Amino acid sequence: MITDLIHRERLAHLPTPLEFLQRFSAHLGGPRIWMKRDDCTGLAGGGNKTRKLEYLVAAARAEGADTLVTFGALQSNHARQTAAAAAKAGFSCVLILTRRVRWQSTTYESGGNLLLDRVLGADVRIANDPAESQEILGTLQREAQENGRQLYVIPTGGSSPVGALGYARCAEELDHDFRVNDLNVAAVMHATSSTGTQAGLLAGFSATGSNHKVIGINVSEADGAALEGSIRALSNETGALLDAPPVGADSVHVLHEYMGEDYGIPTAEGRAAIELLARTEGILLDPVYSGKGMSGLIDRVRQGTFDADSDVVFIHTGGGPTLSVYDNAFGST
């Protein structure tokens, strides 16, 4: 693999399975739907960030760091996986989590990923806004300097050029999956937020000379044009590490109409997507990312966007541990 030229620490169960969703596809009556099971990457419940952390942890070790620091919302999947990666790789971990999401439930600030962060041994610092988050980081940096510690600061979602290499590697896996299964791929779809997953896929497909259409479903950003610009910029920064041809603006495809009221606020369509997949395939999505992403795929299938004889691949980015703190979104079903 091209990405083997860059050092990584093996944290994930790779390659992840590519699973044909037979009953789900039949229910929709459209193209064949496949799922890349990146909820099965291991590391404290799995998820897409584990791929990124393989490269980020390697970079942290190369720099002589002893502590991983990262950011997220209170129920961040990335934070949980960073805490797990730190534990497995022998680093200390500080999570700076911000009260960004306006969801209320009895366990939102104690259960789900927050519970797992603490079980994993992370030092959890909670901020009320981004400014306070930066103040906490500044304090950590001063304390580290005074105490002879070295921090490795990971951006939200692990979405740096180094982190996005994890999804360049996933693109190479997908190329293999498509050949083995003889797929006629119309699109690769997934929830997009901090941009690293989509940027890495685009960089990876560019590096391998593939021409697969990658469609992100925006679940977090009100400024869609800015999000698309960030995806393209990060894809080209990542591609530069692989000597890949640059990605043009016409290769960045994002659907913006499925986010709903705001990031972290469930939608009726996302809930329906979660229940449909659970009841046809026994696979759990989450209300923040993969549920909204799947609602976009379902809607596009019902609109007739894809030929019936084509294959659509959905990347399951994880998030199951947050389901319990969204119990009040599901009523009495």
Q: Which amino acid is at 290?
A: S
Residue count (the chain): 333
CB 211 within 8 A of CB 205: yes
Of residues 25, 76, 160, 295, which has the active-site annotation?
76
Share of the chain residues as helix, strand and coil, in percent rounded to the nearest 5: 50, 15, 35
Is 316:290 a contact under the CB 8 Å cutoff?
yes
Q: Report CA 182 to chain centroid distance, whole Å.
A: 26
Three-class secondary structure assignment of 119-159: HCCCEEEEECCHHHHHHHHHHHHHHHHHHCCCEEEECHHHC
> How many Å separate Cα 125 from the centre of its chain?
22
Strand partners, 36: 18, 315
Is position 76 annotated as part of the catalytic site? yes
Residues serving a catalytic function are 76
